[in-house]
Amino acid sequence: MANAAQVQRMSRLMIKTLRDDPADAETASHKLLVRAGYVRRSSAGIWTWLPLGKKVLENVSRVVREEMDAIGGQEVLLPALLPKEPYETSGRWEEYGDLLFRLKDRKGADYLLGPTHEEIFTLTVKDQCTSYKDLPVILYQIQIKYRDEARPRSGVLRGREFHMKDSYSFDTTDEGLAQSYALHREAYEKIFQRLGLDYRIVSAVSGAMGGSASEEFLAPASAGEDTFVDCPSCDYAANTEAVTVKVEPADGSAHGPLEELDTPDTPTIESLAEFLGVPASATLKNLLVKVDGEIVAVGVPGNREVDLGKLGEHLAPATVELVTAEDFVDRPDLVRGYVGPQGLAGKAFRYLADPRVAPGTAWVTGANKEGVHAKNVVCGRDFEVDEYLDVVVVEPGDPCPKCGTGLKIDRAIEIGHIFQLGRKYADAFELDVLGQNGKPARVTMGSYGIGVSRAVAALAEQTHDDKGLCWPREIAPADVHVVAAGKAKQTELALEIGDLLGDAGLRVLVDDRAGVSPGVKFTDAELLGVPTIVVAGRRAGEGVVEVKDRRTGEREELTVEEAVARLSA
């Protein structure tokens, strides 16, 4: 008897495929998931998962769940609607700013919709675990998260409501945390391999989260919003935000004395470099910013751009703003457009610099006088750097911090993130257990995320072709898509082979829709992206069907028996 649950007739499936791309869609996954009837936009960044989409989402969740269970993770489900207090304790009620969905209950108490759950997991373990014997523990959930993203775009790639697997490890020792982290890293590798995603593991910025080790799993794709560097010669790979540059001191003794030069009409680096006949890389640009209101200068080579986002991350939680004309009013020592660090660094302003501004290097820079620049301004002799920061925008060809080879830069989608948090949250919530020595021991934590709904879109990005979606079998909404290309005889055969395949344990979609032309059915089959397409067509009367590989397009005519044997093997 046919296994009804495994055979889905399209005549009874709620699906409406579209020939045209949605007007607002830019990325392939957005266009195709909508056109193939997998998802439907509900409001900005908020999506309904339709029957086929829900199956794909569940398949991803199942793989994630199996591999999390395999490392001893215990599945729980925490609420998405959370009280404000724990997030005030951690400081994130404020820190999250506009990203947080905040709401009030009928009594006026503040709540939020959880963007991630470190606070609540910490409280859960504080309540449930009392002794070192209760640890280590890995807890996870697959749950809906809320973030009021500034630019919810690209369909389910970046939602304001999205599905995430988040897990948290709790250990008493640093070695334990390293072990929990390693377990997650291995589980993530298995998950992304099983999902059929092409991915890279790259170093990430630990930033304001304050942990030590942090890596991201990135799926290379042109639709990605992240960029990462990959070294062609060694194993170095990092998010461009996390690329570091070494401070390599030079021999500064050979440079001549500092010399001031009249440089009329040279307000830009380009005009200055041309006037003096030096490359822009020989000039030193000093960007003035206000850090919590205090003026700070950031020195970078003239041919490089400062990444304000990165600067902000380095200086967080301080706020960083660009200076305005008004800020110069009370500061005659700061000559707009002609600022140089000599005489001012460490006195008039704190001086932060790119590591390329190393001790012993000489620069052309502003002379702190209108229309005048200075040359042979030597770091360590004429000015000192208060702090080195990696804040320039990374460019292709920049040297690999490990081996020096020119780096490549590519775009990618962040699909996972693993993080050794350390004791930040345990400290905030005083999470202790009774230690082996009878004294309280502070717990150390890791936090680990996978974008489950984002992974669906990332897979669509990486695997689609010009005809439509093209799922790997493990994730596809069905194993086989049977098309009845004709009338009663074809439909009968299609349903028969569908049942036989279902009996053999395969998940089958049968396009038995009456009044839909074979051409439309073929187009829909390619759009939906089930890995194998079986067509009951011309030779249905002889019991012969065509078996086609969705990806390669390879096709073969087989009898029903042969086809069932082949596909269920």
* Residues at the interface with Mg ion (CB under 5 A): 417
164 binds, among ligand ATP, Mg ion, none (CB under 5 to 8 A by kind): ligand ATP
Instruction: Please say which residue, 215 or 390, places its beta carbon nearer to ligand ATP.
Output: 215
Question: What's the gap between Cα 176 and its chain centre?
Answer: 26
Written as one letter, the residue type at 491 is: T
For the bound state, the minimum distance from the C-beta of residue 351 to ligand ATP, rounded and expressed in Å, comes to 30
Cα dist from 384 to 170, 300, 354, 367, 387, whole Å: 43, 14, 13, 16, 9
Span interacting with ligand ATP, options 63-71, 186-194, 446-454, 479-487, rule CB under 6 A: 446-454
d(CA 262, CA 208): 44
Q: Where in 406-445 is the site for ligand ATP (CB under 6 A)?
A: 414-417
Nearer to Mg ion, 207 or 343 (CB): 207
Q: Contact at 8 Å (CB) between 81 and 111?
A: yes
Least Å from the CB of residue 414 to Mg ion: 6
Which of 422, 317, 416, 319 is closest to 92 using CA atoms?
317
In the complex, least distance from residue 225 CB atom to ligand ATP, rounded to whole angstroms: 6
Instruction: State the DSSP string of 489-506.
Output: HHHHHHHHHHHHHHHTT-
Query: Closest approach of Cβ 204 to Mg ion, in Å?
Result: 7
Tell me the one-letter amino acid at 133.
K
Of residues 351 through 390, those in contact with ligand ATP by CB under 6 A are none
Question: Helix, strand, or coil here: 73?
Answer: coil
Residue 101 · residue 112 · CB < 8 Å: yes
Q: Which residue is nearest to ligand ATP (CB)?
A: 451
Which lies closer to ligand ATP via its Cβ, residue 314 or residue 454? 454
Q: What is the smallest separation between the CB atom of 152 and ligand ATP, expressed in angstroms?
A: 7
Nearest distance in Å: CB 449, Mg ion: 7
Binding mask 148-167 for ligand ATP (x = CB under 6 A): -x--------xx--x-x---
List the interface residues with ligand ATP, window 84-143 (CB under 6 A): 116
Give the count of beta carbons closer than 10 Å to the beta carbon of residue 479. 21
DSSP state of 231: -
**Minimum CB separation from ligand ATP for residue 125, in Å?**
20
Per CB under 6 A, does 211 bind ligand ATP?
no
| Token pair belonging to 540 | 């249905």
Q: Between 149 and 432, whose beta carbon lies closer to ligand ATP?
A: 149
- 374 within 8 A of 340, measured Cβ to Cβ: yes
The residues near 421 (Cβ < 8 Å, ≥ 6 apart) are: 118, 209, 210, 211, 444, 445, 446, 447
Q: Give the interface with ligand ATP as residue ranges (CB under 6 A).
A: 116, 147, 149, 158-159, 162, 164, 414-417, 449, 451, 453-454
